[in-house]
Structure 1
Amino acid sequence: MRHRLALLTVLAVSTSTAIAAPAALAQSTSPVVINEVESNGDAVGDWVELANTNTSESVDISGWTIIDGDATHTPITIPEGTSIESGGYYVLHTEPSFGLGGADSVTLSDASGTVIDTVSWTAHAATTLGRLPDMTGDFAETPAPTQGLRNDDATADNPVQTVPYSPAGLTISPVDLGADFTGEDFSGADFDATGRAWVVNNGTGELFALDYDEATKTYTEAGHWTLHYADGTGTPDSEGVAVTDSGIYVATERNNDDKAVSRPSVLRFDLPTGTDGELNAAAEWNLTEFTGELSANGGAEAIEYVPEAGLFAVGIESTGEVLFLNLDGEKAELAQRYASPFAAVASLNYTASTKELRVACDDACDGQSLLMTYDGTEFVTDGTIQARPEGIDNLATEGFASYEGTCETRYLWADDGATLGSGILAASQQTCADTPAGSSTGFFASILAFFKGIGNSLSSFLPQLTALFKGSSL
């Protein structure tokens, strides 16, 4: 899943707070639509967001133009070499070329002058005008501006915690792992029982292993493998990864060698040996019978194993659902279906100490998430939506994983956009106040503290005992 934002900024400011009464009229069969309009109140200036509704192909918009309702204005021309990727967005500011008024319109035309889409309104919106549902719906006033993101009001009535789901004060930083990690498309992450991290790249269909040095608090690449289907062909669009004793499970949306065709599947690979090579799937579970027909880029986005339930949780991008599946046999069995309040499920992470499954969206929902627990029969949630972690911007974090060590909890994020220069972001938190348990220093410190406590108790008790004997008739 990729939510890329292209941005063309000009400059301006405007103010007003009237209610909008929008109307929209499609003029073309192009997959590109006007998706959101800010005509008032943005600190930079008025802007228009375009969206590519084609979920498998990019659209070149070089030379296309935007104009407001005043025909005397000079249209804004989109630069050569500009495209909107599949399912992506493009935002441009209209000022100082022209501002958008309280009663105005926006018209998008292609390079030949053919009208692609237009929207008009009679008053400024308190927030923005946007298509609800995103990309496909009619224009309405949105709950809040979502520049370069999905227009989504599904979570508007849910309580949102102000405390982020990761501990406050974390330093979240890009991980320097070399040239292989500086590009886009890292999408899934998980830790195995030993603390080794596993990440997947959905563009190249590669699996990477990362080892961690506790002394230096750094990651290094321990190996990478190219994934294929069972017959040794194809490039699985590897979106999510979960590691168990039975192997490595990868959630996939399609075969990247045939990008226009949906193939929502879970692939299992045997745990690899060596440090590189080719891996063919040992098993495949196609999920179409549970998902129905999906867009080619809207299938299985995330996966996680929940041991107390013995089930895999699989997040579906285009529906925002979580499927809880038994994958013990040749055929997947659906144990439960959960419709999340999010526009998409981008990552899933299980925490053993709390027995909680985190269901998270990415930049499409401002990084929000919620927790689910297994009550012995089914997965349940109280519906509370948590904010994204402090210390991280609204990035395309399509993977999230945590590992609880003896005295340190580690966190990894896979950023599909590699916005900070790396597709992998990391943070850690010390969970022991003193020297980590298991070290000789920590052991002897504990013994000394024990005897010191006994000594302090005796020193406070002896004077009272002496006074008691002095006053005794014995």
Structure 2
Amino acid sequence: MAQEQSAVRINEVESSGGTPGDWVELVNTGSTPADISKWIVKDNDNSHSYQVPSGTSLAAGAHLVLDVETSFGLGSADSARLFQADGSTLVDSYSWTAHAATTYGRCADGTGAFTTTTAPTRGAANACGSSDGGGGTPSVTPWPGDAAVTVADGSDVFGENLSGLSFEGPGVLWAVDNGPSKLYRLVPNGATWQPDPANGWASGKSLHYGSGSGDPDTEGVTATPDGIFASTERDNSNSGVSKPGIVRFDTSSTAGTLNATAEWNLTSDLPAVAANSGPEAISWIPDTYLTAHGFSDEHTGAAYNPAAYPGHGSGLFFVGLEANGTVYAYALDQTGGGYTRVATFSSGFPGVMDLEFEPETGHLWAVCDDTCEGRTTTLDIDAQGRFTATAVHDRPAGMPNYNNEGFAIAPQAACTDGHKTVVWSDDSNDDGHALRAGTLPCTTVSAATSATRTTQTTQTTQTTQTN
């Protein structure tokens, strides 16, 4: 037990303007779970005390945020001190003389010295703004594709609020509108994309919760072999209340309105955030890829084993929170609406607007909008089985700093002359257009990702043929 406890460290401190207030983040740098029941956090005043709830265990590699604001506030010149349950055995501490512009965090994550982070990463690896492989955010590099971008839709086809994008094969692009909630099935129209004129898709389809009521604020979308899933921040019918979740839709219907066929309410698992700052992004990664690359399950403290999550389908869902830029990985029970969080990590940005898995490279792309100059990060599974930032890219030189909230990469089957299409969606419909296209180099498919892509293409093609 002493060995487990000695691996627990203070990892990040928010002393000013946090959500929902001041907080102290712990991390377990050890290889086994640590029992931290009734441990105590104090600032530089011994009379200020926050106690960890009884029965709290911190899995190996996991982060835990303690909202000390419920007991005391952290000052501009203060300390965060972590004690065992006796209140006198000091485990770790950090002191500062002024509030950080962001937060104070260890770089490298869990083991390094404290420094000012580039962005708060509540409950995830720290954003350290370095390229030293220490768990921080790498230096910014140019967009790896062509500098030019082109308009990819007709004039004022979608208007404002077009958000997430996801390819389903080379000839189908899904898009969601976050208000009023609508799902579009897009097909090629020369060099642009248009709503599918067949099967009731010509104007998109209105979305509701499973009850047939409500207006889910659909921000992200992902096409999977198990169906079309969207991430939601709130019910637009009650727009002042946060309602983070995931919804699934059956797109084989010819009706003009779709009711969710399954819902997962994530409110109890995610940090409390403003109503319009919840799950902005969603992507899906197949189990075959995750297991082949040694993905670590923070819930079990071992290598990810799909068999541990019966009924979860054939992959995990990765949800990006707009409020803090953190990505949360979930196994969704697709038979009963339950879920388990499997991993938590930083996107490298203070907010994340879309996520896109690229099987050919194994990159999980994270996208930030005009608040981050339209940049993207790529995250890859490291030697410890965790997604970490490996590159940060500027937007293409030909792309103005639009409010891009959607990002989708065409599959390898769409590769032409060594390039494949990338599509962005602009929530603000700048200059009367919501879609713009660019390119990325095609990448030779490795044996591991080839099997993944073949499975995805076969399954999604079967789904497409039913629409």
Is the partner of 2:141 in helix, strand or coil? strand
Aligned to 2:282: 303
Aligned to 1:159: 138
Alpha-carbon distance change, 208 to 155 in structure 1, aligned in 2, over 3 angstroms: farther
C-alpha root-mean-square deviation of aligned residues, in Å? 2.9
Does residue 407 (structure 1) correspond to residue 415 (structure 2)? The answer is yes
Kept after mapping to 2: 8 A contact 1:155/1:342: no
Q: Partners in 2 of 1:428 and 1:168 — Cα distance?
A: 6
Aligned to 2:206: 226
Aligned to 2:38: none
Aligned to 2:150: 173
Is the partner of 1:395 in helix, strand or coil? coil
Aligned to 2:398: 391
Is the partner of 2:269 in helix, strand or coil? helix
| Structure 2 residues not aligned, in runs of 5+ | 1-99, 104-115, 119-125, 131-136, 291-314, 444-467
Is the partner of 2:431 in helix, strand or coil? coil
Q: Partners in 2 of 1:351 and 1:430 — Cα distance?
A: 12
Kept after mapping to 2: 8 A contact 1:174/1:420: no
Aligned to 2:244: 264
Alpha-carbon distance change, 187 to 299 in structure 1, aligned in 2, over 3 angstroms: same
Q: Partners in 2 of 1:211 and 1:425 — Cα distance?
A: 14
Kept after mapping to 2: 8 A contact 1:211/1:221: yes
Report deviation, 1:225: 0.6
Query: What is the number of residues matched between the two proteins?
Result: 282
2:265 alignment partner, one of 279, 286, 289:
286
TM value normalised by structure 2? 0.56
Report deviation, 1:210: 0.7
Q: Partners in 2 of 1:417 and 1:311 — Cα distance?
A: 31
Aligned to 1:313: 318
1:359-398 alignment to 2 at 5 Å? 359-374=366-381, 378-398=385-405
Identical columns (%): 34
1:409-450 superposed Cα distances (whole Å, 9 cap, x missing partner): 111111111113111112356869xxxxxxxxxxxxxxxxxx
1:415-430 alignment to 2 at 5 Å? 415-428=426-439
Aligned to 2:302: none
TM value normalised by structure 1? 0.55
Q: Partners in 2 of 1:369 and 1:429 — Cα distance?
A: 13
Is the partner of 2:371 in helix, strand or coil? helix
Q: Partners in 2 of 1:324 and 1:415 — Cα distance?
A: 26
Does residue 244 (structure 1) correspond to residue 224 (structure 2)? The answer is yes
Kept after mapping to 2: 8 A contact 1:160/1:387: no
1:254 alignment partner, one of 209, 234, 239:
234
Report deviation, 1:246: 1.5
Kept after mapping to 2: 8 A contact 1:361/1:367: yes
Q: Partners in 2 of 1:206 and 1:185 — Cα distance?
A: 10
Q: Partners in 1 of 2:349 and 2:260 — Cα distance?
A: 31
Q: Partners in 1 of 2:407 and 2:129 — Cα distance?
A: 24
Is the partner of 1:189 in helix, strand or coil? strand
Report deviation, 1:389: 2.5
Q: Partners in 1 of 2:258 and 2:173 — Cα distance?
A: 18
Aligned to 2:161: 185
The amino acid across from 2:331 in the alignment is N
| Structure 1 residues not aligned, in runs of 5+ | 1-130, 135-141, 145-152, 433-474
2:360 alignment partner, one of 349, 353, 357:
353
Kept after mapping to 1: 8 A contact 2:167/2:409: yes
Is the partner of 1:290 in helix, strand or coil? coil
Report deviation, 1:132: 3.9
Report deviation, 1:239: 0.3
Q: Partners in 2 of 1:340 and 1:245 — Cα distance?
A: 25
Does residue 200 (structure 1) correspond to residue 176 (structure 2)? The answer is yes
Alpha-carbon distance change, 294 to 176 in structure 1, aligned in 2, over 3 angstroms: same
Q: Partners in 1 of 2:441 and 2:376 — Cα distance?
A: 23
Is the partner of 2:348 in helix, strand or coil? coil
1:207-255 superposed Cα distances (whole Å, 9 cap, x missing partner): 0111125xx3332210211000000001111100001122110000000
The amino acid across from 2:426 in the alignment is D
1:96-146 superposed Cα distances (whole Å, 9 cap, x missing partner): xxxxxxxxxxxxxxxxxxxxxxxxxxxxxxxxxxx9459xxxxxxx999xx
> Which structure has the bigger radius of gyration?
1
Q: Partners in 1 of 2:372 and 2:117 — Cα distance?
A: 12
